[in-house]
Each structure stands twice: as structure tokens, then as C-alpha cells.
Amino acid sequence: MKYNEYSPKVRKYLTWSLEYAIMRRINDMFKKHQKVPTHMVMAGNVMKASPEAINDFKETGEEALKMMPKVVRDGINLDDAWQSVPVPIVTPLPHVDDDKKMYSFMEYALNQSESLMYIYVTEAIGAPESVLNQNEKLFASKPSDAHPDNISNYVVLSIMANKLKPKLVAAKITRNIINREGEYGRKLGDWKQHHNAKLFTSNLPTTQHLQPDWRNNVR
């Protein structure tokens, strides 16, 4: 069975697993460095990897699949699932002023790995919904139009997966005490899902292997 033949429940679980792993990784990174570089974590076709990587993933992937909830395992043929479950690939992104150039690089990497999902990680600035007009959402407005006291920094995860609705998760960055010595620094808040994912992700690259479901009534 191929990934695209899995039920929506299985595909959502696989996407959530990648999202959860990245959130934990970023939390640890922020505690150590108080910042996170812009990067992309793809979930690519393991069969496109090197022979060594394929063997390693076969050994570890089979054990990881057995740890899935029973309701998910029942929808997967565990004997060959390691070949079709996407494998995470962390991809640093270049520092460029032109988003189109970065998106072009992302699209190339997604095509090369035949990725079926990816998470775009970046820091962004925005204003809370409560201080914007009713028709505007978080990150949708130009922060320069808001009062400086209402502008905040966020770490944003834009989650794109084939046949699933795009998802946007963000954590607010605050200035706070970060250690027992009482030193101040940047601290990452709780992760929250926001409902304007389509608006924020519509410019992100897609490929023939990765076509999100843009319908508004899809959960």
C-alpha cells in the first residue's frame, strides 16, 4: 500500500507525528540558542535515499511503526510500510531577500525527494487578532500598520501535506527570565493552531507529489 492509499486518519497521524517531533526539537533549540533558523523539514520518499540510508530506515522504521496506536496500525500493512511512510529530511534554507528564490529552492528539494509533506519553519512578526479588524487574522495584516506595542515575534510552522488541509501553528516569543540566575532572554510560549492557514500558506510551493486540499470545508 502506498502513502496516498492510506486513510485520512493514518495520513493525519503521520503528519501530526512530524509536527510534534519538530515542535519538541524547536523547543529544545530555543532553550539553548533563543532563536531558530529558517528551514524546512520534508517527509520524502525513502526509496530515493542512499542504499545506506534505506537500510538504516528499514531497521529503525519497522520498530517505530509498531509503536503507532492500534487504530493507525490497523490501516497499514506493517510488512512493507517502511517503504511508503515518508522519511524526515531537514533542509536548511538560504538567506535571500526574494521569497521567490527561496520558494524555488524549496520546490527543487521537494521534487528531488518526492516529498509528500513538509513543514516550513521560520520566525515572523504579527499582531494578535484582538487588535486587528474583524476581517483580518494573525499574520495577515502588515505589522507596520499596527502600533509597536501590539507587534510580537513568533515561531511559525506552516504544515503542508498531500491530500490534507494546510495547517498553521505558532508560538509567541517573549522577553522573560530564562535561567536560575535570573537572566533575561527570548522565551518561546505555547504552540497554538491558527485558522488562517490558507491565507498564510497559499504562496508556499507545491509539487505533483504534494497537492494540499484547499477546500474550506475540509478539516
| pLDDT band at residue 135 under the 50/70/90 scheme | very low
Tens-place pLDDT, residues 160-171? 999 999 999 999
First-to-last alpha carbon distance for the chain, in angstroms, is: 24
| pLDDT of the residue at 208 | 93
Selected residue with higher pLDDT from 189 and 149: 189
Q: What is the mean pLDDT of the chain?
A: 81
| pLDDT of the residue at 40 | 96
Selected residue with higher pLDDT from 147 and 8: 8
Ranked by mean pLDDT, the top range of 57-61, 71-75, 88-92, 177-181 is 88-92
Using the Cα atoms of residue 12, residue 14, residue 18 and residue 23 in order, give the sign of their dihedral: positive
| Res 203 pLDDT > 50 | yes
Q: Domain ranges for the chain, please list them.
A: 3-201
Proportion of the chain above pLDDT 70, given as a percent: 75
Strand order through the sheet with 87-92: 87-92, 39-44, 117-126, 152-161, 167-177, 184-194
Kindly report the backbone phi and psi dihedral angles of residue 197, in degrees, each rounded to the nearest multiple of 5, phi listed first: -60, -40
| pLDDT of the residue at 161 | 94
Average pLDDT over residues 202-215: 91
Selected residue with higher pLDDT from 127 and 175: 175
| Res 219 pLDDT > 60 | no
Q: How is residue 75 annotated by DSSP?
A: T
| pLDDT of the residue at 81 | 63
Distance CA 124, CA 143 (A): 10
| pLDDT band at residue 63 under the 50/70/90 scheme | low
| pLDDT of the residue at 140 | 46
| pLDDT of the residue at 39 | 95
| Res 197 pLDDT > 50 | yes
| pLDDT of the residue at 93 | 92
| Res 47 pLDDT > 60 | yes
| pLDDT band at residue 19 under the 50/70/90 scheme | very high
129: burial class by Cβ within 10 Å (0-12, 13-18, 19+)?
Answer: middle
| Res 138 pLDDT > 60 | no
24: burial class by Cβ within 10 Å (0-12, 13-18, 19+)?
Answer: exposed
